[in-house]
């Protein structure tokens, strides 16, 4: 069995799961007023959320960046850089390079702002500078692709299941059951509309994080990954 698979496949999967989630929400909670434009924007964000990954994926924005900084080989603009910001930069470059007119797809400028916010997981600019502007009345939409609130989003659901399948690791959570039972209700503390699950799904939700733990133990922190350190040493050798 080969563990090789691509971020393109993953990104298509994220877009698909996002559409499934929002379609069932619109069916069961029509008062949320989820529109076709909302769904399209979230799908585009799912497709583009990983554009900014550099060579060798997290090696690039992890130990590689760290080693450059420690050796004084980095640039000021690289400090604090994240692959989410890289994805935003790539998306902006694509729009300019290929002269993409979003109005041809039924979108407006505010929708582009929304997509950028979805990718970042926070308002564009400094976190404390302003609030979300793309869909301020639908805060739950910001939890679909990059959920900064709970960490449970379709991005993780896809790569947990995908990584488990390709590596032969055990995955205990039921993705489609989670998608079909997710609802939106006001947060008990803040009153903000947020993603949630019925109490009977508590075990399934916990299984998501159990799957994450198992993958870290069996795959993500496997001793073979020490080869990454050798690779970085070669790349940044003085």
Q: What is the pTM of this model?
A: 0.89
CA angle 90, 92, 95 (to 5 degrees): 110
Cα–Cα distance for residue pair 232/236, rounded to 1 Å: 6
In tens, the pLDDT along 133-147 reads 999 999 999 999 999
- Mean pLDDT score of the chain, rounded to an integer? 88
Q: 7-235 is classed in which CATH architecture?
A: Orthogonal Bundle (1.10)
- Is residue 35 very low, low, confident or very high in pLDDT (cuts 50, 70, 90)? very high
- Give residue 224's Cα distance to chain centre: 26
Cα–Cα distance for residue pair 218/172, rounded to 1 Å: 14
In tens, the pLDDT along 200-225 reads 999 999 999 999 898 888 877 777 76
- Whether the pLDDT of residue 45 is over 80: the answer is yes
- Whether the pLDDT of residue 1 is over 70: the answer is no
Map tokens 């004084």 to a residue: 72
In tens, the pLDDT along 105-130 reads 999 999 999 999 999 988 887 555 57
Choose among 13, 8, 29, 37: nearest CA to 183. Answer: 29
CA angle 162, 5, 169 (to 5 degrees): 40
Catalytic residue among 28, 83, 122, 216: 83
SS3 151: coil
Active site residue 222: no
Residue extents of the structural domains in the chain: 7-235
């Amino acid at each position: 069995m080969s563990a090789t698979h691509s971020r393109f496949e993953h990104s298509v999967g994220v877009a698909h799961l996002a559409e499934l989630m929002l379609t069932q929400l619109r069916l069961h909670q029509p008062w949320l007023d989820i529109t076709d434009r909302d769904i399209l924007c979230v799908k585009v964000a799912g497709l583009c959320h990983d554009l900014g990954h550099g060579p060798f994926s997290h090696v690039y924005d992890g130990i590689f960046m760290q080693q450059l900084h420690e050796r004084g080989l980095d640039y000021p603009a690289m400090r604090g850089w994240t692959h989410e910001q890289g994805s935003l930069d790539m998306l902006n470059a694509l729009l300019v390079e290929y002269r993409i007119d979003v109005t041809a797809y039924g979108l407006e400028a505010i929708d582009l702002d929304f997509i950028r916010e979805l990718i970042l997981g926070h308002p564009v600019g400094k976190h404390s500078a302003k609030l979300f502007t793309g869909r301020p009345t639908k805060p739950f939409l910001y939890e679909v692709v990059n959920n900064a609130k709970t960490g449970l989003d379709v991005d993780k659901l896809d790569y947990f299941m995908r990584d488990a399948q390709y590596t032969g690791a055990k995955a205990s959570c039921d993705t489609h059951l989670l998608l079909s039972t997710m609802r939106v209700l006001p947060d008990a503390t803040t009153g903000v509309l947020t993603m949630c699950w019925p109490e009977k799904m508590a075990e399934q939700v916990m299984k998501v994080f159990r799957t994450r733990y198992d993958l870290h133990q069996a795959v993500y922190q496997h001793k073979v990954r020490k080869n990454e350190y050798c690779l970085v040493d070669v790349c940044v050798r003085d």
